[in-house]
Structure 1
Amino acid sequence: MTGVSFTVHAAEGAARTGVLTLGRGAVRTPAFMPVGTAGTVKAMYVDQVRDLGADIILGNTYHLMLRPGAERVAALGGLHAFSRWQGPILTDSGGFQVMSLAGLRKLDKDGVTFKSHVDGSMHRLTPARSVEIQTLLDSDIVMQLDECVRLPTDRANIERAMRLSLDWAERSKAAFGTQPGKAIFGIVQGGDDKALRIESAEALAAMDFPGLAVGGLAVGEPQAVMLDMIETVVPHLPAGKPRYLMGVGTPDDLVESVARGIDMFDCVMPTRAGRHGLAYSRFGKINLKNARHAEDPRPLDEASACPAARDYSRAYLHHLTRANEILGMMLLSWVNLAYYQELMAGMRAAIAAGRFADFRAEVREGWARGDLPAL
């Protein structure tokens, strides 16, 4: 694709670090993309997200097409101008949300007709329409429309969805055409079936997408199954193109997936957890709802570069969480996104220095050791 490139700068085992270059800027990999579902990373200012080190964020086609509408966003200058995020944006296709959120839905070989969960209005999403919406949003990385099935399910259903997604991949790529400085990614499907995953990966590789995603994981299966599928798929993906694991995950998921060759991630987990009183840190998870924090004057992590983790007491964060105060949600979302970006930066540096195995062990040791003891 014109104006799009991916360069691997260093590798250790399957783990690798590099740069994905797009028209709007460079994305350092491994990368975690904060999720801006409806044009905003929930409870965060756009400047905060940038200052934490995020090179790219994610927007959601399904939510934005329903409200405020892709055509309206386009008329207002596109999603970057609308949201004040000037770096690259990846938009998902909307397929997962149609399957999981929409009320009435009818799937056929050409697309899906569904009823909005917002106001009950009827909509039609096809591979071409999904790409059109993402183009109206002015997305830098467009995702093909696919069908994602929840696990566990029977093999026949997994195979049907995988083959439909391959057909939609071809249609999506044709609809995308050539957009300088922008890319479209195909999505590997196949559930928890190794043979179907390999078939999907090889077919998509032959279509010559500039990047490939692994979809349909973190949808109910154990982590061991997810990691097994990554190990199965990665050898069949082009080494010179970015690999994106969709909708994943916990800090442990990120580290283990990078160890298996994944370059890009997105997940609502850090902001969702923050809105519900849960902090992620080098000590593991800290539940600020717990009464043990009610009189604790210490910060979450005095060594953190994030002011929310370093400057506010656990007692205050506990109070805000128990009182359901908006500030508590904002501070803990900030804490969590800061930790996720610190973790990605740590992995990039470790791979570049040839010490990823040591870094992985040190991080896991910190989580296992756990939080500081209560006063």
Structure 2
Amino acid sequence: MKNPYLAQLGPNGVRQLRSYSTQGKQRLADIEAAIRRALGDIPSNSQLPREAELALRLYAAELWNGKTFHKAREWIGRVDHYAGGYSVLSPVKEAPSAPAQDLFSMTDVGAAHQVNDFLDGFRSSVSSRVQAIDALLNGNPPSAATLSVTLPPLQPAPSPPVGPSAGSSQAGPSPSSGEHPSIQEGKTGISATVLNVLIASPGDTEKERKIAEEVIREWNSDHAQELRVILMPQMWESDTYARMGGGGQEQVNIQIADRSDIVIGLFRARLGQATQNYPSGAAEEIERAIARDAPVHVYVSKMPLLVDEINPAELARLRTYTDDLRSRGLLGSYKSSRDLRRKLRKALEHDVAYFLKRSRT
């Protein structure tokens, strides 16, 4: 009996639906494979939460291994656009949308908890469209049950090997070792060096901190695949977690500051609140990085200040500290957002070149 649901599509439309079904099943298989590889690469003694490790490895694979989730999102868009032209295909467009988040945002410890919802969202959005298309091809109208896909849970990472070979795990070394964490994907030979970039600054530099994070993201987009280096922005508000003991700044030091490979210091009109041993939290992070010989870049705003930003006492404290820094190195400045972007980009490019050169010697 002739399929009543496909009569308006014609032979070419049916072929197109079959092609979309095949492509969708491949997209789903690619997603499942990417998840399995990423879970399998998480070391048992990782210093990061499991979700952050998973997001980090998926992001690295997304950069180098064919953009699995990007291709899935494109497939969903093509299917929905095609379905919009035919009333009989309207159930396809009723399937769940792909998640709006991007993997890069979930590599931050503070947002890593979203990664499971992100993965389930992609699996569901692809699976439900494939099932709706197949139901139409088989002459069955998609039902609400068809569009509500029950997915198997993400499988836990395999147990670590036991015995003499267990020491081969690719756990990231501590910063004091002089080496840097690597992401590896054994089946493809893909590896990357991860460099943590700490953004140290007081509370009046929210705009500058956002610019620094954007510059890091842009650098990754332009160079991570070619150079096999990923720069990870580190900020206390997004990359630390609540934990008692030792004071707030000490926890920031333990969790991110003392683990950073590169430090960017940004100042506008304030130095910030003093800590137990330093004139401010940002100053403490900068000084501790200088003491362990990490690359440190400090930039002071030369942009006009608003009236409510002017605090003579704070400006004096900031001047005293930056004068001290100037006596010990080359202090940077910026006169506009564009100027800051350019200088940050240049500094990061020099740092990456330095780390790559050192890793080859």
Give the structure with the higher percent helix.
Answer: 2
Greater relative contact order: 1 or 2 (C-alpha under 8 angstroms, separation 6 or more)? Answer: 1
Give the structure with the higher percent strand.
Answer: 1
Fold agreement, TM-score > 0.5: no
TM-score using structure 1 length: 0.24
Higher-Rg structure is 2
TM-score using structure 2 length: 0.25
